[in-house]
Structure 1
Amino acid sequence: MIELKKVSKVYKNGVGALNGVDVTINQGDFVYVVGPSGAGKTSFIKMMYREETPSEGQVFMNGVEVASLKKKEVPYLRRDIGVIFQDFKLLQRKSVYENVAFALEVIEENPRKIRRRVLSVLDQVGLKHKARFIPAQLSGGEQQRVAIARAIVNNPKLVIADEPTGNLDPETSWDIMQTFEDINASGTTVIMATHSKDIVNQMRKRVIAMENGRVVRDEHRGEYGYEV
């Protein structure tokens, strides 16, 4: 479970990103975070994997206060979290297989288990046949599938996605969203910041809407609620 209690964030340049945010997200939830640009969506999700820490308030992950963790403890927190970005952030000189395997190699997983698990998740996202390709040989949708495979290869309890379909065409976006549906169906919590009105309105999950650093709406089976 994730809890943000009266979380505010002001950056060193004086820009306020979050203002008194109170949110609870339960294990297995699928949550869209929506709102206009600059509303605080990215700062909100970065709190959960301690890319950012609050100026005020507390963030809890399964009862652990995230900001109080020592620097050496943060990698252990992140083992239970998969993060997916709009621009994929793949290692361009490594193959599809190597990109996904890297997430397990850094935690010194058994090589035999790495091979078995990597091939399994590549099969799950439909890219097992392209395991030896490099990112430049893949379409944008395929690169995002590699990023998803890398994020879930360690069986995380939480997957966080920041605009994962932002650079993709509509048909590919729907294919990617089906993959997220499958991930969520396995019990993994999914939190996704998005500007995709069509996806949010048709998939009807929980919607947290943000404006000016505040949560202004939190609805189960919610709609996007903004013109795009």
Structure 2
Amino acid sequence: MIEMKKVFKLYSNGVTALNGVDASISQGDFVYVVGPSGAGKTSFIKMMYREELPSKGQVYINGVELSSLKHKEIPFLRRDVGVIFQDFKLLPRKTVYENVAFALEVIEENPRKIRRRVMDVLDKVGIKHKARFIPAQLSGGEQQRVSIARAIINNPKLVIADEPTGNLDPDTSWEIMKIFDEINSSGTTVIMATHSKDIVNQMKKRVIAMENGQIVRDEQRGEYGYEA
């Protein structure tokens, strides 16, 4: 599903975020991306939804080389990719329902189908009863559930999460991880950058460890491997 071949990323400030990265991730994988701050994790995952382009090398999604995409083609790529952020990135003046529905409205989906799909997804993440609330009325865990609902509303083949439990307490973090596990069980690929040692060690998924812009470890049923 995802192939990276000799990927380098050099920023204008002189920082080399990725230094010759090779990686292969198959459909249905659940992958944790770990490593110290500044290791290149965020640049690595941003390559997968074309938020960043490599300075050198190639990134493929389902056989399509992302650098070759025209600007007008990028939204079609991202319909198959759901992205979840640590700080949620919800629209503050829109309700929970409106935040999630927006992802379908921009592709001009049928309004009746939008309502049915939004309510189904809100139910799946356990926040259907808060559909008419705005983000400021929700806890951090509830806001993250909304961002997950928004990310999976299009039934993406790939879900990418950048520190999705970073601002949450341990109990809420585990509730969120159960949702990710269920998403993965349905066949969706999940790639998650995280500093959560306990979650990585207990869930025993594939672990890609990065240091200084390079992959230094890639193991099935891996462990975090760093001090938290």
* TM-score > 0.5, shorter chain as reference: yes
Deviations 1:78-103 (A, max 9, x none): 00000000000000000000000001
Distance in 2 of aligned mates of 1:59 and 1:113? 34
Deviations 1:52-89 (A, max 9, x none): 00001000000000011011110000000000000000
Deviations 1:171-193 (A, max 9, x none): 00000000000000000000000
Distance in 1 of aligned mates of 2:108 and 2:98? 14
Deviations 1:87-124 (A, max 9, x none): 00000000000000001011111111100100000000
Cα distance, 1:12 vs structure 2? 1.3
What does residue range 145-224 of structure 1 map to in structure 2 within 5 Å? 145-224=145-224
Q: Which amino acid aligns with 1:193?
A: A
Aligned residue for 1:120, secondary structure, equals helix
Give the structure 2 partner of residue 226 of structure 1. 226
Distance in 1 of aligned mates of 2:121 and 2:81? 16
Aligned residue for 2:117, secondary structure, equals helix
Give the structure 1 partner of residue 2 of structure 2. 2
Distance in 1 of aligned mates of 2:185 and 2:116? 22
TM-score (norm 2): 1.00
Cα distance, 1:26 vs structure 2? 0.2
Deviations 1:142-191 (A, max 9, x none): 00000000000000000000000000000000000000000000000000
Give the structure 1 partner of residue 85 of structure 2. 85
Give the structure 2 partner of residue 67 of structure 1. 67
Give the structure 1 partner of residue 55 of structure 2. 55
Cα distance, 1:203 vs structure 2? 0.1
Aligned residue for 2:108, secondary structure, equals coil
Q: Which amino acid aligns with 1:47?
A: M
Give the structure 2 partner of residue 126 of structure 1. 126
Cα distance, 1:138 vs structure 2? 0.5
Give the structure 2 partner of residue 112 of structure 1. 112
Deviation >4 Å, runs of 4+? none
Aligned residue for 1:27, secondary structure, equals coil
Distance in 2 of aligned mates of 1:155 and 1:185? 13
Distance in 2 of aligned mates of 1:77 and 1:153? 15
Q: Which amino acid aligns with 2:13?
A: N
Give the structure 2 partner of residue 136 of structure 1. 136
Distance in 2 of aligned mates of 1:197 and 1:16? 26
Cα distance, 1:14 vs structure 2? 1.2
Distance in 2 of aligned mates of 1:49 and 1:188? 15
What is the aligned-residue identity percentage?
Answer: 83
Cα distance, 1:46 vs structure 2? 0.2
TM-score (norm 1): 1.00
Q: Which amino acid aligns with 2:134?
A: I
Structure 2 unaligned segments of length 5 or more: list them: none
